[in-house]
Amino acid sequence: MKKAKAKENVKENVKANAKVTYAPFEVADYLDSEEAIAEYLSLAARDENPGVLLKALGDVAKARGLAEVAKASGLGRESLYKTLAPGAKPRFETIATIMRALNVGFLVESRLAVRAKKARKLKAA
């Protein structure tokens, strides 16, 4: 009886210690519509860290096909990789070229107007 119980405990421990593996999360797999891409890039552009926007542009380029984006932008594939690599400091002209190749653009909004609206709402409450 004790041996059977000991075997059960061993089996349970083996199951409990079994290594679980997860597939790496790839954002590009979920950027499957123009709306999703636009929202993703808009949120990335709001971040104060410019690397966030570069990473997002790289994710969108991967979703659309890096070779196709490189061809549409007139950049070599390796140049596109280097431009969108972490820590890169690309020129605005290069970013604008990549964005045109991705068929996206910037939309500028005033932060002051947003803050003023929030302040009015707080005073009214």
Overall pTM > 0.95: no
Q: What is the DSSP string of 8-73?
A: HHHHHHHHHTPPP--PPP-GGGG--SHHHHHHHHHHHHHSS-HHHHHHHHHHHHHHH-HHHHHHHH
pLDDT, one tens digit for every residue, the chain (125 residues): 555 665 565 566 556 567 888 889 999 999 999 999 999 999 999 999 999 999 999 999 999 999 999 999 999 999 999 999 999 999 999 999 999 999 999 888 887 866 666 666 667 66
CATH number at residue 54: 1.10.260.40
Label residue 62 exposed, middle or buried (CB < 10 Å: 0-12, 13-18, 19+).
middle
* Residue type (1 letter), 115: R
The domain total for the chain is: 1
Q: Is residue 108 part of a domain?
A: yes
Q: What local confidence, expressed as pLDDT, does residue 27 receive?
A: 92
Q: Is residue 26 part of a domain?
A: no
Q: What local confidence, expressed as pLDDT, does residue 30 receive?
A: 93
Q: Is residue 2 part of a domain?
A: no
